[in-house]
């Protein structure tokens, strides 16, 4: 088991949630899922996660908006945003406090590498 044990994956595409759950749980991680920004924020407020992986575009918010809300609710929360590469989303995600913005589809080995890095 890695040092990171609980990951929340936030995406409004059920097929991507299935893929993330399979890929990350196979590596021994406990994976929680949220299909909306509202559900994800509730989950982070109730219980922090070792890492949150957020899609750049959700039905009820953008990834950067959700990052901002999550960090306000739980300072220090580690968050990665993944998105079809859009420079505005990437810049906004980083400004909001995300550790990085990865291209979608995310390569889960990259996600794990970022997750294991200590916070700056």
Number of domains the chain is built from:
1
Residue 4 has pLDDT above 80, yes or no: no
User: pLDDT (tens digit, 9 = 90+) per residue, 31-78?
Assistant: 999 999 999 999 999 998 989 999 999 999 999 999 999 999 999 999
Q: Find the domain containing 102 and state its range.
A: 6-116
**Residue 36 within a domain:** yes
Residue 27 confidence class, pLDDT cut points 50, 70, 90: confident
Whether the bond between 105 and the residue before it is cis, its omega within 30 degrees of 0, is: yes
46: CATH: 3.40.50.2300
**Residue 1 within a domain:** no
Higher pLDDT, 68 or 109: 68
**Residue 11 within a domain:** yes
């Amino acid at each position: 088991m890695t040092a990171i044990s609980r990951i929340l994956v936030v995406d409004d595409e059920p097929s991507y949630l299935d893929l993330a759950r399979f890929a990350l749980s196979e590596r021994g991680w406990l994976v929680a899922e949220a299909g909306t920004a509202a559900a994800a924020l509730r989950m982070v407020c109730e219980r922090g996660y070792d890492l949150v992986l957020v899609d750049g575009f959700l039905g009820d918010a953008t990834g950067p908006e959700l990052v901002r809300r999550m960090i306000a609710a739980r300072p220090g929360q580690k968050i990665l945003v993944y998105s079809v590469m859009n420079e505005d989303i990437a810049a906004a995600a980083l400004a909001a406090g995300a550790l990085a913005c990865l291209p979608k589809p995310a390569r889960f080995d990259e996600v794990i590498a970022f997750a294991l890095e200590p916070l700056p």
